[in-house]
Structure 1
Amino acid sequence: MSKLSHPRPEGVAPGNGYSHVVTGPGQWVAIAGQVALDADGNFVGVGDPAVQAQQVFANLDACLKAAGATFADVVKLNFFVTDIAYLPPIRTARDAYVDTTNPPASTAVQVSALFSPDALLEVEAYAVI
C-alpha cells in the first residue's frame, strides 16, 4: 500500500487528471525520459502517438520495476510532446498504469523537437519508495 499523500491545496483549482501536490517518505527514484524505443532500440509506432505512448509507459513500468517501484510510487510525471494535440492518447496510455483517483503531479510541455524526428513524446518519472 502506498504511503503517498495527495493534499488538495486551498485556493488552487483542482487538477484535471493530475495532482498539484504529492508527498511521501522514502527513497527517491528518478527515471530518465522514456521514448518509444523497444528493447532493441528500434522506434515503435512511428507517426502514431497512441502506439508510442503505450511503449513509453511500458518502458517506464520496466524502469520502475528495476528500481523496486511501481506506478503507485510515482509522484511526478513530466511530458514532453511535439504536438499538444497528442495528449488525449497519451492520457489513455497513462491511465492504464496510473491510479486516476490519486494521480501523480504532472507537467506537459510542447516542444519543437525531441532527439529524433521519430519521437513524438518523451516522459520522465519521479517516484518515492
Structure 2
Amino acid sequence: MKRFLPLIILFVSTACFAQQKSPVTFVNPPGVVTPKGYSQLVVIDMGTSKMLILSGQVGLDKDGALIGKGDVAKQIEQTFANIKAIVESQGGTMGDIVKLNFYLLDVANIQTLRNIRDKFINANHPPASTLVQVSKLFREDILVEIEATAVIPKKP
C-alpha cells in the first residue's frame, strides 16, 4: 500500500483540481466583430464582482467594416459604441468602467476624444486613464484604439 500512496494522492489531487472551475472566461460577445487569434474580452470572477478586460477596440462595426475612414470623431464614436456593447453584454454599464487606455495617432485630437468620451462615461466620476500618441496602429486606416477595464458588482 505504501508504494501506491503517492499515486493515490496524485490521482485524488488531479481529480479535485480538474473539477475546479477557472475564474477566467474568454468571450467574443455578439455585438462586436469576432477577431482572429484573440478574444475581445476576458471575464474574471472575483467573487462579489467580475472584472472585464477588453482588448483594444477600434472603429470596426460588428461585421468588421471600418466606420469613419479618415474621420477620427466617427472612429472614436464607433469605438465607444463597441466598448459599451461589450460591457453591456456582461450585465454592466459604462459607469462600471474603471480604466481607459487611449492610443491616438495624433494627440491634437485629444479634445475630440474627450468630448465623445464624456457622452459615454460618467464625467463627474471618470475612470482612470492613459493617453499615448503612437506612430502607427495595426492598420493604416485606424486612427484610434481604446482599451477598457470594468468591474461589475454581482447582484445579491
TM superposition score category, shorter chain reference:
0.7 to 0.9
Identity in percent: 47
**Structure 1 residue 66: Cα displacement:** 1.3
**Structure 1 residue 52: Cα displacement:** 0.7
1:38-76: CA deviations, max 9, x gaps?
Answer: 111011111111111110000100011112211110000
Match of 1:26 among 49, 57, 71: 49
Partner of residue 142, structure 2: 119
Partner of residue 47, structure 1: 70
Q: What amino acid maps onto 1:36 in structure 2?
A: G
SS at match of 2:126: coil
TM-score of the aligned structures, taking structure 2 as reference length: 0.65
Gaps of 5+ in 1: 1-24
TM-score of the aligned structures, taking structure 1 as reference length: 0.78
Richer in helix (by share) = 2
Q: What amino acid maps onto 2:139 in structure 1?
A: S
Gaps of 5+ in 2: 1-47
Which structure has the greater CA radius of gyration? Answer: 2
After superposing on structure 2, the runs of 4+ consecutive aligned residues of structure 1 that deviate more than 2 Å are none
Does 2:81 match 1:58? yes
Aligned length: 105
Give the root-mean-square deviation of aligned CA atoms: 1.0
